[in-house]
Structures are given as C-alpha cells and as structure tokens.
Structure 1
Amino acid sequence: MRKSPERKQAPKKVKRVALVTAPYHSGVVESAGTWLNLGFVYVAGALREAGYEVDYYDAMALWHDQDQIRKRLEDFKPDAVASSAFTAAVFAAIGVLRLAKTINPEVVTLIGNVHATFCYDEMLQADHDVIDFVVRGEGEHTLVKLLDCLNAGDDPAKVNGLAFWRDGGVVTTAAAPMICDLDALPTAWDLVEWPIYKYRAKNDARLAIVSSSRGCTQNCSFCSQKLFWQRGWRTRSPEAFVAELEMLHQKYGVKVAMLADETPTMDRARWERILDLMIERQPGVRLLMETRVIDIVRDEDIMDKYRLAGVEHIYVGVEAGDQAKLNLFRKGTKTEQSRKAIDLINQADIVSETSFVLGMPTDTKESIAETVELAKMYDPDMAFFLAIAPWPYADLYPELKDYVVTRDYSKYNLVQPVIKPTNMTVEEVEKELAMASKKFFMHKFENIEKLTPWKQEFMLSVFDILMNHSYLSHQMKDMATQSKKMPESVKNMIRNVKAAKRALSNEPIAPLP
C-alpha cells in the first residue's frame, strides 16, 4: 500500500557501511564447502566507488554467533548495517539488524534479496522497529542512491526500489530499473576474507562464486529467480568473465569457482565463446555450474569443450520423473530429455548432479519410492531429494497454501518439510526423504567401481562430506553399516576417514580428454 511521503528527519551522515550475512545454517548450503556472498562483493564495490567505507562481513561463512557479530560491529562502528537473506535465513538477517540497533539506535538498517523484494510488507509490518529500509531488486545502484539521499537530507521516497515504514504504514517507491552494463559494475574482491572459502570435495581448494550473467527467462512455477529478475537475462562479455577468473586465480589463489548464473548457457554462441577462451587461456580455475537440461541436450556436440575448458561439475534440475509433475512445475522439459542430459554429462566424464522435489500434496510413500528408483535409473553421480518449499511469492503457492503447516521461514530450507501431503504426515515425509537419500547413495556407492578412476576418488570425498558435514550424516552412517555390497574402498573410508583423506590429498581432478 502507498502512503503520501512526508519528509523524515535526516540521520547523521552515513560514511561507514557494514554488509553482514545472516548467521543461518541448515546443513545444506555449507556441507560441500564455504561459499562467499557474491552479491555483497558487487554491493561493496559500488559503495566504495561512491566514497563509502565498507566492511564485507560474512558472519554465516565464519560461523559467528551474536557475541562475535556484536564485537565486529562495535569495532567497525558502522553508520549503516545491511543484511541479505534467502527465505530460510530471513529471521537470522533481521536478528543482525536488531543487534545493530541495540548497539547504536541511530544506525541505518537495510535488508534486501529475493524474500525482502517480495515480502517487504509482511517484514515491515512485523519488524519496522529494526528495519529502516528494504531494498527491492538489485542493490548496487539503489543502495548508493539511498545513502546519498539520506546524507543530503532528502526524502528517501524519491529513491526507486525501496520499501519502508512511515506514519503507521508501508511506503513503496517505484521499481528500480535493472542494471544494463554488468561489465561496468565495480567489485570488491580485496575485501573478501579468502582463507575461509574452501571446497571440501577438492581437498579444501580455495573457492569463489562468480557470475557471467544475471537473470532467468524460464517459467518454473516453484522458483523465485524468474520473479526477481523479471524474466529477463543480461550478460557480461565472455572476455571480461574469463579475465576475472584469471585474476582470481593469480591474485587470490582461487582454484574452483561456482558459477552463480541460473542459465549461463542460454545463448549457445556466447557460451561457446566462454569455453573457447577458457581452453585458450587456461585460467587455472575449475568450474562448478548449474544449467538447463535442454541446453545440455543441445550441446551434445561440444561436451568435449566443457571438459577441456575445466567444467568439472554440472547440476541440472530434473525435479520430477513423471511428465504430469514436470508440467505442474512448468519446467518446459520432457522426462526423456532429463535422462539424456545426465547421460551426456556422464559420458563427458563430468560430475553429474540433480535433484527431485518431493513432499507435494499428492505424494505418498509409494510415489517417493518410485522416484528413488527413477533416480537410480537416471544414474547421476549425486541426487538429492528435496522438500518442496512453498515460497509465498511463487506462482505455485496458491495451489500449496492449504497444505502449509508452518510459517516459520527458517524451516523453508528444502530439508525440513513444511507441507503436509493428503496421505502422509509431515514426520513421514521427513523420514521418507531421509530414506530416499540413503537408498540412492547406497546404490551409488555399491556401484562406485563402475565409475572412472577420478570420479571414484571424487565420490569418496563426497562420501566423507555426506558422513561428516551434511544434514544427511546420520543416513550415510546407517547406509555404511547396513550395506552388504559396499566396495572395499568405501569400507576403508568408513573405518578410517582421516587416512582416506590423506590418501586423497592430491586433489581429485577431472583428466582432460
């Protein structure tokens, strides 16, 4: 709802800005490694270019508690504190802003990202005492304009891309335009605390998150990305992207980079140019990426370039094994395309990963068991069975809302079921999801010797991660004790994880074809 803007008394001048990630953990995101917040790298770059002093503070990656966050804020003495959160982490992010207000009631507090962009009204209704401004959409330009506006003593209602509380109601300003020239955005890689960012599957190799494009033109009914990016897609130049990889390797020792793009391969000519440049320049960075099933099928004739360029791990979202559910999810793919895409990734000797969305209102124990058998048949190296998360802003939400059992967003993490199917309890869903993972990985590790040597080593590292660092640790330990067909290599891993890790100290690297 809109309120007529009234001039708010300007706070003291904002000079120092702390960007603080939400200290949220679910055993999912952090299981494979420690991931930096790429959005804050860009926001910090924009703020610094505009003359602000910035602290990039990844409290999540550092596993800092409230006392440690308090000390960092007290030491830096920011004039503004901004946090960013996906839905499951939003309460933790608001907690950071609340802590900042207890330290300094005059500090300007801000929050952004997907959940805040769409659920700002609910957030401000509940927590306007600690949230001064919600940044809707991309933050690089909006945040700078807002702080400049406050420093000038002007009215923030003039700044596009905001929501805030005034006179007992929520004020929203017009949407900010999308940023056109992504190559022109400044970054603040030098503010990143690099030693903490590691990829466990490659002997704790230094890990970066990078972006070659922004946006998603797909129409998946359960997803948030198409909404946040307004179904648009913008790209960086292949030359600028590959040069950034070279710089990250040479200057900061990065060996592995996760591509943050939702659809990096959408334009085949552009993507092939990136692959050719990586083959030519050999930037020293291996890529982990997500892309579309249909793009992998399209690229059957250049999968060798993926490997030569250093693409080592590809995730494709299969999500469902029956066409009716794929149609409900509006994936725009056929079941046979999903299987072929995984086959092509495997044939290229690249790690294949996929996921299946379970816990829908029509699911039963039998339908979940059928999905596990389908996953075995598709034969990805890794498959994860995720609880549907009914984002309140997603297209699918109206069909799911009557089955939602909690609005505790901290549980919307794809691990904890928050929907009760018609013929199952929530507890049964949780049990069946765990059983699905155990059955799939038991099958995978019982057949590990069918993989190429480098993949066998990689999967042993994955086994260590699943047993010791993930939400699936209990299921993996059960699997290890129950399986009668487990190869000796995996049994040895179970007996002495530390010894196996020493044996893998030469990072498992995909050999070039």
Structure 2
Amino acid sequence: MARVMLVTPDYHCGVVESAGRWPHLGFVYIAGELRKAGHEVKIYDAMSKGHRLEQIIYNIRNYGPQVVGTTAYTASFPAATELLRRVKEIDPQIITVIGGVHATFCYKEVLEGHPSIDYVVRGEGEYTLPHLLEVLESGGNPAEVPGVALRRGNEVLVTPDRGFIQNLDELTPAWDLLDWEDYTFYVYPGSRLAIISTSRGCKHTCKFCSQQKFWRQTWRARSPGNVLTEIEYLVKEYGVDIFFIADEYPTADRERWENILDGLISKKLNALFLIETRVDDIIRDEDIIDKYRRAGIIHIYVGIEATSQGILDKFSKGIQESDSKRALDIIHRAGIVSETSFVLGTPDETPESIKQTLAMAKAYNPDFAHFLLLAPWPYADMYEEVKNYVATYDYAKYNLVEPVIKPEAMTTDELFQKVLECYRSFYFGKIPEWTSLKNEFKRRYAIQCMRAIMDNSFLQKHVLSLGRMPKMVRDLLKLLD
C-alpha cells in the first residue's frame, strides 16, 4: 500500500479567500476512498495554511510520500505544476498526479509541457486514483485504467472516460484528516467552517462555465437523509457552525431540497449555511423562502452575470433579465443576505456598457456584488468566440480579477480601472445603507463583511488602499468595536 500526500498548491488571488478559509472538499472525498483501499493518506492544505512553496516542499520531504497528488483550476495550474516539478527534485521516484477541471480537459497540454507530472486523473477521482495505484502496485498497465491520461514515450495516451459515480451516498469523506483549526468564516470571528457537497453537476448550458462542461450537463444528488446525517456529524464531532454548500445547483430538485430544509429545521442544530443557486429557483421557491431562513440559510449567491437580455442570451444563461431583480427582492424579504456577480470584459465591452452595468447593479441592489472579468477557459463553450481577443496566456491571471481579454474599444488597463471603479462606487454607496439597516443581523453581517474585505481581499490594495482608508469605511468598522 502507498503513502499518499494530497497537497493544495501555493496560489492566492484574493477573491474567494476574502470571505474565509475552507477545506478542499475533493481531497476529503478522495482521501476517504484511498483509505478504504488500504493506503496511508495525508491531506496537506497548504493554500489554507498560507504556506509558501519552500515550506511546502520542506513538509513534503519530511513526510516522505510515495505518491503526491494535487489539483488545479486554470488559475492555479502554474502553481500546481511548479509544485510537482519540485516534488520530482526531492525524489524522481515519487509518483506525481494532478486532477481538477483544467487537467481534465487540457491533459495533452499538461503532459506534453510538464515532464514532472506522471498521471492526469480526469473527472471524478474517488474511484480512479485508488484504481490507478492498485494497478501500479501490481505491475499492471495504467493505460487500462479508465479516466486517466499518461505518457508512453513521446505520446500522450488517454483512456476511456470513467462513468460518473451513481450513488454518492456510498462515498466516505475523510473529515478526520483535516486540520479543523485552519477553517473559519471571517464574518463570524472564531467560527469553524466546513464545505459540503449535497449534489454534483448542472444541466444548464452557460457558455462561460467550466462546471457544466466538467459534469457533462448531468446532475446527481445525495439523499436528504445522508446529507442531514453528515451535517449533524460535523456539528457534533468537530464543532462546525458555518457550512458552505458547494453544489453548483443544490436546489435543482425542489422536493429533495425541501426535505433537507425540513430536516434542518427539525434538528435545530444552530448551524448557519451559505448556498449558491439560480434566480429561477428562488422565484420557484418564493412560497417556501421562509424555510430557507428557518433552516439556517443566511447567505445566498445567485449568478445574474449580466443586466441585459442580449448578453444573458449570448452567455446561454437561460434566465430572463426581469427575473434577477425579483429573485433578489425575494431573498431580501426573507432577511437573507444576497450576493451576485456581473461578468465584464467581453470583446465588445466599452466604458459606456460598464457604466450601464454598474447602474443596473445598483438598481438590483444586492447586498454584495462582484464585478468579474471574463476568463476564457480554453475548454469553455465560448472560447472560440473570444480566443482572438486573448491578451495573455499566463493562466495564473485567469482568476476573474485580472483582465485576460482585451475588448476592441479598450485597453486591458482601462478595463481593469473601470472594474475597480465599479467596486468603489458600488460599495461606497452601500455603506450608508448598511449603517441604517433596521435588521440587526444583516447590519452586523454587512459591516463584518466589509472588515473581511479590508483585511483579505484584492480590493484592499486596489480600491481602498491601506494607509488612506476612506473615513466612511473607518466609521463603519468602528460600529463593531
């Protein structure tokens, strides 16, 4: 049996990380299945620990693994490949494996350009990685393992796809392998945060999205009882009090979703939940939105992406522009915090179109808004439409923060400055509103979120500028002192 270390790469961009630190859920699931197969496994979440590459390599060397696995989305791919290159310097005999969205689709590029990577695990890894290690240990042919890519001399071989796991309830996540003190939600100082998955996939066809491609527009779900048992276990065993439900689309099946809500209400676990879903499901669930709040859901992200029907249709978003404001209003009436995003930086973007998006964002009035720069994932449906406008091929910049596409009418620097102006205008306009909120929960939540942004977000550097924090921000934060 092998000694396996699963390591997150040293990558940070200051967007998602501004809210908190949460476990790498994929590793938790893969580690559980590796352990079932008899392997010794260690999860090393270097990203959450804030460890830099030299420290990561030092800790890997001390552990002495026979197998090192990492994962990468497009922006973290350069950091992941550098990690595995350094692992091979420790010992060329260490088996190196990479998985994740980018490697799944770009396995040929991965293996041709990075000789330090031995294997790519494509798609779901829970069954593929244990199968691969079993074959390697027995001296078998890894080219017969479904769901991998590998080298044979100068040739890259890809094996047939492995079918999706049909019964997600059978998986056994290795929660005990986490360093739980690393995980917290900054909005609630001292909290313990878990990320869980109740379903996998999405049947929609958004052209900029990697997830519908990864899951091949399918959707599978765990049973409500299995989900509720896991939540209760994490609360009682590890003191988790905040949950981020990582599903792309947890509410897809209304009956199942309502059963989960009812179960949370009846269990009275005093846990809080952050979720993501679609505006059309919020409208569908208007009659049970009170259950969301009673079940502990305090924060809902809905992907609006655009404020004109033309752009929504171009993105194949599958929603009506008029539905977005209605969904946000439903969330607000329930006393739940709303968050959304607006995608900027298409090839036809102009200063005027950005100004119009900002105006509509303010009119929609979410509690929190992200103005994200379109990232041209090389495997996304819309890549062919935008590839001639790509300004950089440095994947580390494909993080929705830095401009990658150059619009016809703007430079990338002009685009970036306009996006920063959107953040500055939107949030400086929200501050007076937050201070006067009558809902005490939302008022304190909003103020604490601003503190998290000030402490951790890329906005700290680009918009608020430490050393000259605007007086209105200082006054707002004093309300928490």
TM-score of the aligned structures, taking structure 1 as reference length: 0.91
Separation (CA, whole Å) in 1 of partners of 2:393 and 2:370: 24
* Among 187, 190, 204, the residue aligned to 1:218: 204
Q: Kindly provide the CA deviation profile for residues 159-215 of structure 1, in whole angstroms up to 9, marking residues without a partner as x.
A: 000101112110000000100110110110000000010100112411000010011
Please list, as runs of the form range in 1=range in 2, the aligned pairs for 1:287-302 lying within 5 A after superposition: 287-302=273-288
Q: Give percent identity, aligned residues only.
A: 48
Separation (CA, whole Å) in 2 of partners of 1:261 and 1:33: 18
* Among 30, 55, 59, the residue aligned to 1:72: 59
Q: Is 1:466–1:476's contact at 8 Å kept on the other side of the alignment? A: no
* Among 308, 313, 316, the residue aligned to 2:302: 316
SS for the counterpart of 2:266 is helix
In structure 1, stretches of 5+ residues that fail to align are 1-13, 504-513
Separation (CA, whole Å) in 2 of partners of 1:78 and 1:284: 40
What code does the residue aligned with 2:339 have?
Answer: E
- 1:327: how far off? 0.2
SS for the counterpart of 2:212 is helix
* Among 272, 283, 287, the residue aligned to 1:286: 272
1:3 corresponds in structure 2 to: none
Q: Kindly provide the CA deviation profile for residues 251-302 of structure 1, in whole angstroms up to 9, marking residues without a partner as x.
A: 1011101001000001000000000000001233211010011100000000
Please list, as runs of the form range in 1=range in 2, the aligned pairs for 1:181-192 lying within 5 A after superposition: 181-192=167-178
Separation (CA, whole Å) in 1 of partners of 2:200 and 2:83: 27
- 1:35: how far off? 1.6
Residues 1:367 and 2:367 are matched in the alignment? no
* Among 1, 23, 27, the residue aligned to 1:40: 27
2:475 corresponds in structure 1 to: 492
Cα gap change, 1:378 to 1:73, in 2 (>3 Å): same
Q: Kindly provide the CA deviation profile for residues 211-269 of structure 1, in whole angstroms up to 9, marking residues without a partner as x.
A: 10011101000001011111111110111101111110111011101001000001000
Q: Is 2:339–2:369's contact at 8 Å kept on the other side of the alignment? A: yes
Residues 1:103 and 2:90 are matched in the alignment? yes
- 1:71: how far off? 2.0
TM-score of the aligned structures, taking structure 2 as reference length: 0.97
Please list, as runs of the form range in 1=range in 2, the aligned pairs for 1:41-440 lying within 5 A after superposition: 41-127=28-114, 129-440=115-426
In structure 2, stretches of 5+ residues that fail to align are none
Judge which range, 439-448 or 399-408, deviates more: 439-448
Q: Is 1:442–1:479's contact at 8 Å kept on the other side of the alignment? A: no
Q: Is 1:442–1:483's contact at 8 Å kept on the other side of the alignment? A: no
SS for the counterpart of 2:340 is strand
- 1:333: how far off? 0.3
Separation (CA, whole Å) in 2 of partners of 1:471 and 1:142: 37
4+ residue segments displaced more than 4 Å: 478-484
Separation (CA, whole Å) in 2 of partners of 1:267 and 1:70: 44
SS for the counterpart of 1:67 is helix
CA-based RMSD: 1.5
What code does the residue aligned with 2:475 have?
Answer: N
Cα gap change, 1:94 to 1:482, in 2 (>3 Å): closer
* Among 443, 446, 451, the residue aligned to 1:459: 446
Separation (CA, whole Å) in 2 of partners of 1:338 and 1:480: 37
Q: Say how many residue pairs are matched.
A: 480
* Among 2, 8, 14, the residue aligned to 1:27: 14
Cα gap change, 1:16 to 1:483, in 2 (>3 Å): closer
Q: Is 1:256–1:287's contact at 8 Å kept on the other side of the alignment? A: yes
- 1:443: how far off? 1.1
